[in-house]
Amino acid sequence: MPFSAPFDLTQESANVIVRSALRDHTVGAIVGSALGDAVGLYTEFLSADQAAISYPSRSFTLASPNPTPFKLDTHRSPKNPGDWTDDTDHALLLLLSYLHTASTNGADPLPTPSDFASRLRIWVQQGLRVLDTMPLGLGRLVGTVVATKNFVEEPEQVAREYWKRTGQRVAPNGSIMRTHPLGLMCLFRGEEETFAVAAKISRVTHYDSRCVIACVYGTALVRAVVRSEILMEEDINLLLRKVVVWYAGQPEVGTESLELDLAELEKHVKAESLDVLQLDEREAIGYVYKTLGAGVLLLRMAIRKTRESYGSLLMRVAMFEELITDLIMRGGDADTNACFAGALLGAFLGYEALPDHWKHGLRHEQWLIGKAEALCQVLGLADGHYDGQEDKDTYPDGGRGFVSEHEIEGRWMVLQQTAFKKIEDALKATSKTRSRWSVPWPGKTEH
């Protein structure tokens, strides 16, 4: 029987309800992604077996007074519970680029590849200036491409040359982790414009067709989920077909070995379980299709659970934590997988359904929500005035000024000393041998 409201809504009332829902789901996508990133850090680079040994309760809390402690090793020791990683930092570079030129007076130009490239180079050298954090987690691909002399002026050309130089086979997940804000910026723009800007921003560093199609599809999914255009699993499949058709029609496809292996793509985005994706496969943990497939599968699971529970509020509140926890306990590139999946689930469930003991434990929670609210104001989803030119946070130096190379070197030394002191203190507290903490500090093998 079709839904029949017991009362008539005025157009004004309906608009208020829709606007409020869009706002909640927009903020949910941004915060949900950061939460996935922060919780995923607990098991990043571990195998599923190692994750199970390290966190036998399969339960995580970010909020004070008793946040879940990390399995201490040289990878996690520079961070604290509630910190996000480079994944969220890079997404924020895009958001800040957009907000810098946006206002509630009608201006909202999309981020350009050149501005994003410039901000990315600053991040590689100095970290996220607005929050005064260091550039931890820099991967090989991004580090190499960004360090190239003419990167800021011609980022796509530099990325293309790197891709060719490495045998046209490198397809890591370092661009899909950052592009979800584009789906929010494009809420009221056309679908194909959304596809195009996602492709451009991927190619700033990641030129391979698999990276590009993953960014296009992931960005389009975030946009469609917030717009309530993804209600059934078939809607996910339909959007994939649209993206594939659009991509095949791009002029560069077919001229540079950029054709898609559709079977390989569908194997991942139509996976029936996380086991199929082998997320902790040691030589391929950073493969972009693993991250894409994990996020899409969790969105499918959320749709199924919602339908099975008839939209139960209690089920929705528990869903984000349950799905993200199961994902990160698979190990691998857990923070990136959960960062992308968190964006999709946050967009689907909304901010209010995110677990309190996670979202209130984010280190920069209020700042992040403030930027999400600024985005909502620019999009017309929240009241209030906003002008990015008046918001010093959006400037490339974060309103703090740049730091000298000498000061950066000093900060690295302090960070290293602090990290190793944490390990030493933990060793003393547990009276364990040093071999327990002998896990190497791996960088992102590609990203």
Q: Is 141 exposed, middle or buried (0-12, 13-18, 19+ CB in 10 A)?
A: buried
Residue 446 binned pLDDT confidence (cut-offs 50, 70, 90) = low
389 secondary structure, DSSP code:
G
Q: So what's the pLDDT on residue 442?
A: 43
Instruction: Please tell me the predicted confidence (pLDDT) of residue 257.
Output: 67
Domains located in the chain, CATH noted: 11-437 (1.10.4080.10)
pLDDT in tens, 58-117: 999 999 999 999 998 999 999 999 999 999 999 999 999 999 999 999 888 999 999 999
pLDDT number for residue 427: 83
Residue range 252-294, pLDDT digits in tens: 876 776 789 999 999 999 999 999 999 999 999 999 999 999 9
pLDDT band at 306 (very low <50, low <70, confident <90, very high): very high
DSSP H/E element including 29: helix 11-40
- Tell me, what's the pLDDT at 7? 60
In terms of phi and psi (left: phi > 0; alpha: psi -120 to 50; beta: otherwise), the region of 44 is beta
> In this predicted model, what pLDDT tens digit does every residue of 179-233 receive, in sequence order?
999 999 999 999 999 999 999 999 999 999 999 999 999 999 999 999 999 999 9
Classify residue 1 as exposed, middle or buried by CB count within 10 Å of its CB (0-12, 13-18, 19+).
exposed
Burial class (CB in 10 A: 0-12, 13-18, 19+), 267: middle
Average pLDDT for residues 21-30, to the nearest whole number?
99
- Joined together, the tokens standing for residue 84 give 């996000």
Compute and round to an integer the Cα radius of gyration of the chain.
Answer: 21
Contact 392, 398 (CB under 8 A): yes
Q: Backbone phi, then psi, for 69, in 5-degree steps?
A: -75, 150
Tell whether the model's pLDDT for residue 429 goes beyond 90. Answer: no
Tens of pLDDT along 125-153? 999 999 999 999 999 999 999 999 999 99
**Binding site: residue ranges?**
85-87, 333, 335-336
Predicted local confidence at residue 3, as pLDDT: 46
Q: Which residues are annotated as a binding site for Mg(2+)?
A: 85-87, 333, 335-336
Specify the pLDDT at position 2.
44
Looking at residue 179, what DSSP letter applies? -
Least confident stretch, 302-311, 327-336, 400-409, 435-444 = 435-444
Instruction: Give percent above pLDDT 90 in the chain.
Output: 87
pTM above 0.85? yes
Q: Which of 225, 185, 196 is nearest to 340 (CA)?
A: 225
